[in-house]
Chain A
Amino acid sequence: EPEVTQTPSHQVTQMGQEVILRCVPISNHLYFYWYRQILGQKVEFLVSFYNNEISEKSEIFDDQFSVERPDGSNFTLKIRSTKLEDSAMYFCASSVTASEAFFGQGTRLTVV
């Protein structure tokens, strides 16, 4: 069964460093998303991407964040200068239509 894959599974970075989280969505999907889950809290929407542009973003997704689909298969989330409060599990998701989203296993980002 096709699935969304994310790498790395765990990333530790120093505060102020740039990180890139990588995702390979399901191949025929058209909508791509990033969500995050701070430990013990709810899953929160960050950004959606469709037709090579951001379709919606939350207030969390400030200028420190960016997304890119550099080729036909990858979808990345970049955090330019990480802060301690960016520590969270980051989930990539994709969908064929704007209906249900299929999530990856997540990347646990730890900022020290």
Chain B
Amino acid sequence: AQSVAQPEDQVNVAEGNPLTVKCTYSVSGNPYLFWYVQYPNRGLQFLLKYITGDNLVKGSYGFEAEFNKSQTSFHLKKPSALVSDSALYFCAVRKGSTGFQKLVFGTGTRLLVSP
């Protein structure tokens, strides 16, 4: 069965500094990987995905993530954090195949960007 681990409950970073939110996954076969963000009292917003191709994927709001097959990781990054990036970030994985496959989410990492 597929699973996702987000080892950090919280990440603190100063505004303007680079940020990394970690994610590792386990899935049989090729993974489809996703990052979602959740602002207070809001739903889950899609940030970016990796399906195939270039290991570095770019998404919304200046975020990017790097797929590393050997380390089974898909860390979320941003070169320069903004206070408005403070939110709860979820990594998710599904099996890479046609047809429906459920998303399996990690436990989430709270990102706090201080001014």
A56 in contact with B102 given A42-B108, A99-B32, A99-B51 (CB within 8 Å): yes
**B13-21, B36-44, B61-69, B75-83 - interface stretch:** B36-44
Q: Is B22 an interface residue (CB 8 A)?
A: no
State in angstroms the CA–CA spacing of A3 and B32 once bound together.
22
Evaluate contact between B101 and A91: CB separation under 8 angstroms: no
Chain A neighbourhood of B49, CB < 8 A: 99-100
Chain B residues with CB under 8 A of A98:
98-101
Taking CB atoms, residues of chain A closer than 8 Å to B98 are 98
State the interface size on chain B (CB cutoff 8 A): 24
A20: Cβ under 8 A from any B Cβ: no
Interface of B is mostly: loop
Once bound together, how far apart are the Cα atoms of A44 and B41, in whole Å? 18
Check if A105 sits within 8 Å of B42, measured CB to CB: yes
Size class of the contact patch on chain A: 20 to 34
Q: Are B34 and A100 in contact (CB under 8 A)?
A: yes
Chain B residues within 8 Å of A102, by CB:
46
User: In the complex, which residues of chain A have a beta carbon less than 8 angstroms from the beta carbon of B107?
Assistant: 41-42
- Our pick among B41, B51, B103 for the contact of A101 (Cβ within 8 Å) is B103
- B-facing mask of A74-100, CB < 8 A → 1, else 0? 000000000000000001010000111
A45: interface (CB < 8 Å): yes
| A residues less than 8 Å from B36 (CB atoms) | 103
Chain A to chain B: the 5 pairs with minimum beta-carbon distance, closest first: A105-B43, A103-B44, A45-B102, A43-B105, A103-B43
B-to-A contact residues, CB < 8 Å: 32, 34, 36, 41-46, 49, 51, 90, 92, 98-108
Taking Cβ atoms with an 8 Å cutoff, the residues of A that contact B are 4, 6, 31, 33, 35, 41-45, 48, 50, 55-56, 58, 91, 93, 98-106
